[in-house]
Every structure is written in C-alpha cells, then in structure tokens.
Amino acid sequence: MNGSEGAEIGQRLAAIRDRIGEACRRAGRDVAEVTLVGVSKRQPLARVRAAIEAGLDCLGENQVQEGCEKIPLLPAGLDWHFIGTLQSNKARLAVRFFDTIHSLDRLKIAQVLEHEAERQGRRIQGFIQVHLGDERSKHGFLPESLVENLRPLAGLRHLEIVGLMTLPPFEADPEAARRWFRQLRETRDRLAAAPEWQGFKGWLSMGMSHDFEIAIEEGATHVRVGTSIFGRRPSAN
C-alpha cells in the first residue's frame, strides 16, 4: 500500500465520523453514544494499520481464524468485535481473541461462551442477534418471543449480554430500513422492562455502510462499517 492509499483511508474514516456526528445531531444524541466498528474482514494488514493510525480503535472480524491470525500482528489495546456467525467449536478462540460477540443467535452458543470465558478467567460482552424479516438464510431469536427465550441468559457472570443486534433485509433505499431499526429498538425496550434484565445496557448493534445514519437516528449504539473506510476488498485468489 502506498502513502496516498493510507491518506485516503484516513480521509474516508474522517468522513464517516462526520456523518455519524451529523446523524447524532439530527437525532439529538451525543456522538459519544455511538461506537464505530471498522469491519476489517479480508482487508490487508496495511490498510487496517492505516485506519488505526488515523484513530480507529474498534475493529470487527467475521471469521474467527482470520481474526486469530490478524490480531496478534496489530497494536495491542484495540477493541475487537466478532460479528460473524459463531460455531461452538470456535468458542475457545473467540473468547481468547475478541472482547465482544455480536452474533449470539441461539442459547447454546451463549452458554458455551459463558463456560469458556469462566475457564479462561475472562469477562466478555455479547449482543443477542434478532431475526427481523422472513429471510430463511438469517439466524437469530424472534422478537415476539425474545423476553421469554432469553431468561436463561439473564445474570450470566462471564458473558454480559449488553444489547441486541440485527442484520435486517437489505433495502436499496436506506430510509426503507428505518422500520427494521425501529423494530429492534422497540424489542430492546420490551426486554429492558423485564425484571430479570434490570441494569441491562440495552445497546443496539445495527446499521452498515449504506444505512448507518438511519440506524443512528433510530438509536444505534454500534454501527458496522467496512468498505466505506477501507475500500473494496481484494479479490480472492
């Protein structure tokens, strides 16, 4: 990567932060309430380093193995989020390398992570994945039964459930995605009102490159942005 590409990454990151700030102002929110997760999957290390040098300190990976290989080669002290589908046999590595898991889509994986975090003496954070829309390819809990189904996860000691996440149906018009983000926020409010979830942070991981501003207007606390920061991913060989 040449110097001009590094400068472009810094400029794109600054532009994304400006758009986050504008969305927060429109919604009457403090920009400090929104965490930008830079999705670095399949991005060359040089690009990731350029973004870190430009101030990005929270990164997200979709594949456990890629994260395990990449994280030790980058500066310590970064906040690493796992945002892909997690299989139980990858839980040990996920707990070792990541601070937050965004894709708790079933009780079993949350319980496995709780056990593994206890074994490793770690405390990690997790978002419950909520399935909005009727796309069969998507995973997660259904919003209408969420409160009842999550009772076994209230009060875990090593995996703190901090919020909800969704991957809603793609909408070409970002404004059309507003209904999905609003539905996740309303689902969060119902969960937060349950007695067993007192003290629940209620964070919302929603919104990506093409619709994160709408998500912020509807209450997102974590937005996942990749190519708009790093550029197009190199083609696989």
pLDDT tens, the chain, 237 aa long: 666 878 999 999 999 999 999 999 999 999 999 999 999 999 999 999 999 999 999 999 999 999 999 999 999 999 999 999 999 999 999 999 999 999 999 999 999 999 999 999 999 999 999 999 877 767 899 999 999 999 999 999 999 999 999 998 888 999 999 999 999 999 999 999 999 999 999 999 999 999 999 999 999 999 999 999 999 888 754
pLDDT for position 4: 81
Beta strand 203-205 with 100-104 is unpaired
Q: Which CATH number fits domain 3-230: 2.60.40.10, 3.30.365.10, 3.20.20.10, 3.40.30.10?
A: 3.20.20.10
**Upper half-sphere CA count for residue 20 (Cβ side, 13 Å):** 24
pTM of the model: 0.95
Cβ partners under 8 Å of residue 110, min gap 6: 104, 126, 128, 153, 156, 159, 161
CA distance 127 to 86: 12
Q: How many CB atoms neighbour CB 30 within 10 A?
A: 9
